[in-house]
Chain A
Amino acid sequence: MSEITSDVVKHVANLARIDLQDEQKTQEFTEELDEILNYAKQLEDVQLSDTEPMFHAVDLTNVMREDEAKTPLTQEEALSNSKSTEDGQFKVPKML
């Protein structure tokens, strides 16, 4: 068994900022994640201690470009897809 319980799923959902809405949904996600992580346990069968992880498919490091001034999006464009703005800024509910 993996270590997935409904409490773990609730904790992870909180980290991911997703409201799970109801107990039944939480239970379903718990079962599905448990199944997937148990399946992933097969990776423990492979001898990997001397293997370096590969984070990317191509070897590129520090890709640089010229530091040139360019015209960015206008303020109006940048705000155009927001549901709530005020005085040219994004508006959010209270933070504390």
Chain B
Amino acid sequence: MTTTFSLEAEVARLIVEALHLETAPEEIDPEAPLFGEGLGLDSIDALEIALAVSKRYGFQLRSDDERNHRIFASLRALAAHIEKNRTG
């Protein structure tokens, strides 16, 4: 669990840096939606996050299935997806 929590913090920093958000990384609620309500990101941000994730963690995000909604459902879900797929 410790790994997940520290990865969550790392991904929060990655999002804030990649998107130049006003929010501090530790202020992102790990359970809140990243898009729409919650952090309020949009499709431009989704591409930026995908690019940052591919550079940092060495794998590509895809939109081939229902999972995409789940992956971006929250910071926690995104971090878990990265944990499972990372190569770097």
Partners in one complex: no
Interface residues in chain A, defined as those with a beta carbon under 8 Å from any beta carbon in chain B = none
